[in-house]
Amino acid sequence: MTTGAPAVEPSAGVERWRPAVDDPVVVARFVGFVHRSPGCWWWTGALSSCGHGRFWVRAGLVVIAHRFAYALAHPDAALPEVLAHTCDESSCQKPAHLAPSDPDDNRAQWVARRSTPGSPLRDTRGARGRAAAVRAALRTGGDASASAAAGAPAVDAGQGSLW
């Protein structure tokens, strides 16, 4: 049954959107949604339910934005099945913060870092809520870092590293 919703391309469908990486009009449109800061490069466009950027490559075809960013940075490399955000920010587009992974390792890393005080993974708003708050701050000239920090659990306040 067709719902009319745009298809989100998994790794297996990369050949449908990979040519867009060479299209300067598509690339310029993508770059227009990326806010580069000294740390993360924040996505300011549409968001998925888990806080990942959604980028319409063309009518009816949506790609997960950080996968497009990785393909731009690594034009000759095969696109990995999973790209992990080493910064734990689901809306980050910075290629240096994206690492090839697999579903099991990505989940294990999430579990291992989820309990770290101050981790983006602990945000009380969830990944999408955090990404939406940062996006809203950037769109209105606000502070992305302050917006991101606003979702930290109260118990994390003042918690530094033990070593």
Residue 8: per-residue pLDDT: 52
Residue 161: per-residue pLDDT: 59
pLDDT digits (tens, 9 = 90+) for 82-132: 999 999 999 999 999 999 999 999 999 999 998 888 889 999 999 999 999
Percentage of the chain exceeding pLDDT 90: 66
Q: Which residue has the tokens 């913060």?
A: 97
Residue 17 tokens, joined = 């959107």
Residue 1: per-residue pLDDT: 42
pLDDT digits (tens, 9 = 90+) for 44-61: 999 999 999 999 998 889
Helix H or strand E segment including 106? helix 103-114
* Angle between helix 65-73 and helix 24-31 axes, rounded to 10 deg: 120
| Amino acid occupying residue 70 | Y
pTM of the full predicted structure?
Answer: 0.85
Query: DSSP for 139-157?
Result: HTT--HHHHHHTTS-GGGT
